[in-house]
Structure 1
């Protein structure tokens, strides 16, 4: 098992650390040369169009053109520069020739998902992977869906509530991990010395990654300003946290309070950094291709 630091900063997917495009490998033999010549459609390289370079396996969205070539951005924010050669890309698994779009007076920037990634237009969810992401409860699952739902559908990742970390070791054993069948687990209040940290330590599996945040409840991972309050209230020991918060704020029952919290989340900017980093590390972990050999 890998236990990730709950206080690490977000992954490069949001930080966009690498801004300089690098040149891709040469493509080698022209796929249209030799044998019977077939017609390959031309497709306008509109911003946000997702294509794949079959030589390098790099898959990304069109972001701009440089020196007569196209720049693609993958889900981690990495940029690569590719020549606009005939039949040089795959679109939905079929060869296409990318061409510059017709000039326009104003061209909108690529639309972004709630997580900050380039939105894939016309998305059809891919078949679900065997790997899973587990979260502690229904509220955690709904919050992850709210911000990362688009990315999860692109990657074919299913998020499931665990109903408490107390059963984690048992559930991992029942799941049966392995290469291509990984588990990412998001844990609330994952801090040194906590009950959660002790339960997590009992899981030792290289195909399981546990990340977490320091907050007592996932509600606290939503910025107070996003839900119209100055700060999350202090709740006395012995009082259930959600009930205590709702009582102080006059939000009624916890299910009513949760509606307020979820309605205040429009994207990743409404969340605290520890939660953002924790979720993105889990997505990266469960979508990493199995090691070859």
Structure 2
């Protein structure tokens, strides 16, 4: 006798009803993926083995990069997929692509396996800690290969005195990066005076930004442009207030800078007006 009610509706995997089955897809650079759990959408820019597991690095439309473990939980064109590691041929192609495109954060070709060179006599000086940390993050590899050390001046009010103390020579050159070096500024007058101390073995260049914070592209922080801060307000505190960040004391300012610095992964996150000046200094202090 036929069962007019059919099979037990609770038998089997009832939770999977209507759910599309994920197909396996070999991870490849260039594919656009969405992580289901976080909603992160980005282009795969690297696939590698890290900490015993395979991960894919996804770059979103703002240039931010995040790593995800390969496996289920991804969408490709709205379809669920399970990402699998590249096969042997794919791994070889990835290795070749990584080698061909191995670049430092500054965009130069990375020198693989090179130990840091013993420091040479020439130096690059910057105004403060934030300048030094930014230069290190983007140009650190290049400078270690060349053996060039970055030092802090703690301001440029006595730049002429700093040059005399350093006592530059043709084999011991001095490069200086100055904030807010624009016509008519206090910094422009200081630099003009300092240039007379040693015009041949010292190169002083500057960027137009009020502070090195401003050399980070504003879109990296979700802004269209850096805001105008009234002269009556300390600039960094004004920026923090605009971004809705704490700014009561120096610890708040330090944390704010770390948040900004975290958005910088390469030269593409910085304004050309700073990039050109730092490259100019490196060329000057490393010239034969």
TM category (shorter chain) comes to 0.5 to 0.7
1:224 maps to 2:223: no
1:92 — aligned with what?
A: none
1:248 maps to 2:247: no
Equivalent residue pairs, number? 186
Verify the 8 A CA contact 1:114 1:147 in the aligned structure 2: yes
C-alpha deviation, 1:264, in angstroms: 0.5
User: For structure 2, which runs of at least 5 residues remain unmatched after alignment?
Assistant: 1-90, 247-251
Query: 3-state SS of the aligned residue for 2:124?
Result: strand
Verify the 8 A CA contact 1:110 1:119 in the aligned structure 2: no
RMSD over equivalenced CA pairs, Å: 1.2
Aligned pair partner of 2:161 in 159, 170, 173: 170
TM-score (norm 2): 0.63
Query: 3-state SS of the aligned residue for 2:158?
Result: helix
2:188 — aligned with what?
A: 197
1:204-258 deviation line (CA, Å, top 9, x unaligned): 2110101110010000000001122222121101211101111121121211210
Larger Rg over CA atoms: 2
**Distance between the aligned counterparts of 2:277 and 2:116, measured in 1?**
23
- Which of the two has greater helix per residue? 2
TM-score (norm 1): 0.62
**Distance between the aligned counterparts of 1:170 and 1:238, measured in 2?**
30
Higher RCO structure (Cα 8 Å, ≥6 apart): 1
C-alpha deviation, 1:179, in angstroms: 1.0
C-alpha deviation, 1:269, in angstroms: 0.5
Verify the 8 A CA contact 1:209 1:285 in the aligned structure 2: yes
Q: 1:119 to 1:239 in 2, by over 3 A?
A: same
1:257-281 deviation line (CA, Å, top 9, x unaligned): 1011100101001000010000000
Query: 3-state SS of the aligned residue for 1:211?
Result: strand
**Distance between the aligned counterparts of 2:92 and 2:229, measured in 1?**
56
Q: 1:178 to 1:240 in 2, by over 3 A?
A: same
Aligned pair partner of 2:141 in 150, 158, 161: 150
Q: Which moved more, 1:176-185 or 1:104-113?
A: 104-113
C-alpha deviation, 1:105, in angstroms: 5.8
User: For structure 1, which runs of at least 5 residues remain unmatched after alignment?
Assistant: 1-103
**Distance between the aligned counterparts of 1:271 and 1:187, measured in 2?**
16
**Distance between the aligned counterparts of 1:131 and 1:155, measured in 2?**
10
Give every structure 1 segment of 4 or more consecutive aligned residues whose post-TM-superposition deviation is greater than 4 Å. none
1:268 maps to 2:257: no
2:175 — aligned with what?
A: 184
Query: 3-state SS of the aligned residue for 2:188?
Result: helix
